[in-house]
C-alpha cells in the first residue's frame, strides 16, 4: 500500500480552487530527498547532482533544487535556456544531447555549460564549425556494448542503445580533443533504467572507475569527474522496496577507495543525474471520476488521460492508485481506470483490484513527479493540466496554469480564433 503525501480533506480543498486534473508536488519531500542525496555522497568533496531537466521541466521545481545545491542536466536548447533563466550558471549545467544541431552546441558553449559528447563523430563535426572554439573542459559518453546484467533482475542491452561511444572511440576522442586544446575531461555512462536495487550504482561505478585507470594509461589523462548519470529508480509498485541512497552512496564510496584512491585518483569528482529518483515519489496526479461503465469489464472513466500521464499507455508502466477516503475499504472490485482519448491504450490501470469507486470520487495516481507532466501532449486537442506546489507550510501554490483553448490555437497561421 502507498500513502499519498496529502490527505483527502486537503486534496479536496485544493481541487475546489484548482479543478482536476492537476499535478501536485511536495516541496518538503523534494528538499529532503536532495539533502539525503548530498549527505550520502558527502565523502566526495566534488560531488554534484545535475538534475535531469527532462524529468520535470518546471521552473519552480528547478529553483527549489538549485537552492538545495543541484545543477541541471539539459538535452536541448530550451532546457538550456530555462536552466539559465532559473539561475543556474555554466558550471552548474551539463549538456548531454544526441543528434545535436550546431546552434545548440554553440549555445551550450556560450553559457559555459559542460558539453558531454554523445558521439566520437561529433568531434569532427565541431571542428568543421567556423565559429566554435573547443572549451577547456569536455566530457565523453561511454557505451560498453554487450548486455549489462546483474543478479538483481536488472538486464539492459547497451549495444542496442543509440547513446554513447565505444571504449576505443572514447580513448581516441580524448587524444583528439587534447590536440584541440581541451585540458580537462570527464566521462559519463548510463547502462540501465529505473533500477530498484542498491547495487546498480556501485556496479556501474566499478566499471567506470576501472576504465578511468585504462584512460590514464592510454592517454595520460586523469579524469576530472565521472558522471554516473541516472538509472537509480523508484518503487512504483507497493511491494517493491525503495532504494536507500545512503547505502548506495556507501557502496560507491567503497568501490571508489578500492579502485581510484588506491591508484592515485582520489581527487576525481562524482556527478549524478537522478531525475526520476529525485522527483517521481514527490508528485502525484489528482483526477476526478466522471463515469462508471459496465460491459465485459467495469470501466472507471476519469478526467485525466494519457496526455497528463503517458507512461501507462506508452510503456505499460505501473502507477499505484489510491481512492481518496476509501483506503481501508474492504469492498473491492476489479476495474480498468481509463481516460477519454480515442485510443484503447488510454488506461491508467488494467484489471486492477480497487475499492468500489463511484462517480465523483477523487483518485490519486502516485509517483508522477518525474516523466509525468513533462511527457504530456495534445492528442484529441486535449489541453495540458496545471501544476501545483504543496509548499512546506502546507499551502498550495499554482506554478503552471492549465492550458486554455487560445493556447492551443496560438501557433496557427491564417486562423482567427
Helix or strand (DSSP H, E) at 322: strand 321-323
Q: What residues are labeled active site?
A: 342
C-alpha cell at 4: 499519498
What lies within 8 Å, CB to CB, of 345 at 6+ separation is: 306, 313
Whole-angstrom CA distances from 240 to 195, 256, 277, 347 are 11, 28, 14, 22
* 292, 299 Cβ separation under 8 angstroms: yes
DSSP assignment letter at 243: P
The grid cell for 244 is: 536507500
Distance from C-alpha of 358 to C-alpha of 349, rounded to nearest angstrom = 16
- Dig out the grid coordinates for 296 from the structure: 465485459
- For 273: left if phi > 0, alpha if psi spans -120 to 50, otherwise beta; the answer is beta
How many angstroms separate the Cα of 153 from the Cα of each of 150, 197, 318? 6, 9, 17
Helices (H) and strands (E) in the chain, counts: 12, 19
Q: What is the CA radius of gyration of the chain?
A: 23
Question: Any residues with CB less than 8 A from the CB of 169 and at least 6 apart, and which?
Answer: 120
- Phi then psi for residue 297, to 5 deg, are -135, 170
Which 3 state secondary structure label does DSSP give 27?
helix
Q: What is the H or E stretch that residue 34 is in?
A: helix 27-40
Amino acid at each position: 500500500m502507498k500513502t499519498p503525501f496529502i490527505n483527502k480533506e486537503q486534496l479536496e480543498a485544493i481541487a475546489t480552487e484548482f479543478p482536476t486534473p492537476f499535478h501536485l508536488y511536495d516541496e518538503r519531500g523534494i528538499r529532503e530527498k536532495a539533502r539525503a542525496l548530498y549527505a550520502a555522497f558527502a565523502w566526495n568533496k566534488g560531488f554534484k547532482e545535475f538534475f535531469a531537466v527532462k524529468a520535470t521541466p518546471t521552473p519552480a521545481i528547478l529553483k527549489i533544487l538549485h537552492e538545495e545545491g543541484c545543477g541541471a542536466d539539459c538535452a536541448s536548447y530550451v532546457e538550456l535556456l530555462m536552466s539559465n533563466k532559473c539561475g543556474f550558471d555554466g558550471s552548474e549545467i551539463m549538456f548531454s544531447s544526441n543528434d545535436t544541431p550546431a546552434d545548440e552546441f554553440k549555445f551550450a558553449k556560450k553559457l559555459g555549460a559542460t558539453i558531454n559528447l554523445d558521439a566520437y563523430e561529433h568531434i569532427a563535426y565541431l571542428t568543421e564549425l567556423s565559429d566554435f572554439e573547443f572549451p577547456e573542459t569536455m566530457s565523453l559518453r561511454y557505451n560498453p556494448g554487450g548486455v549489462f546484467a546483474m543478479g538483481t533482475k536488472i538486464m539492459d542491452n547497451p549495444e542496442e542503445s543509440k547513446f554513447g561511444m565505444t571504449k576505443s572511440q572514447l580513448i581516441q576522442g580524448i587524444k583528439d580533443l587534447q590536440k584541440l586544446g581541451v585540458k580537462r575531461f570527464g566521462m559519463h555512462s548510463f547502462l540501465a533504467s529505473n533500477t530498484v536495487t542498491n547495487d546498480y550504482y556501485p556496479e556501474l561505478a566499478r566499471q567506470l572507475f576501472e576504465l578511468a585507470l585504462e584512460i590514464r594509461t592510454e592517454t595520460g589523462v586523469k579524469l576530472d569527474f565521472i558522471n554516473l548519470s541516472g538509472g537509480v529508480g523508484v518503487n512504483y509498485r507497493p511491494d517493491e522496496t525503495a532504494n536507500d541512497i545512503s547505502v548506495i552512496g556507501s557502496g560507491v564510496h567503497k568501490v571508489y577507495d578500492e579502485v581510484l584512491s588506491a591508484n592515485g585518483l582520489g581527487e576525481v569528482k562524482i556527478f549524478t543525474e537522478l531525475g526520476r529518483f529525485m522527483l517521481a515519489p514527490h508528485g502525484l496526479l489528482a483526477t476526478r471520476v466522471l463515469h462508471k461503465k459496465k460491459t465485459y469489464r467495469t470501466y472507471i472513466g476519469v478526467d485525466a488521460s494519457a496526455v497528463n500521464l503517458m507512461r501507462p499507455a506508452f510503456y505499460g508502466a505501473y502507477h499505484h492508485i489510491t481512492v481518496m477516503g476509501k483506503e481501508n475499504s474492504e469492498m473491492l472490485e476489479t476495474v480498468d481506470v481509463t481516460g477519454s482519448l480515442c485510443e484503447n491504450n488510454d488506461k491508467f490501470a488494467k484489471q486492477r483490484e480497487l475499492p468500489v469507486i463511484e462517480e465523483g470520487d477523487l483518485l490519486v495516481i502516485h509517483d508522477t513527479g518525474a516523466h509525468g507532466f513533462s511527457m504530456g501532449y495534445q492528442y484529441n486537442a486535449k489541453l495540458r493540466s496545471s501544476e501545483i506546489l504543496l509548499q512546506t507550510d502546507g499551502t498550495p501554490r499554482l506554478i503552471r496554469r492549465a492550458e486554455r483553448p487560445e493556447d492551443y490555437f496560438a501557433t496557427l497561421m491564417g486562423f482567427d480564433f
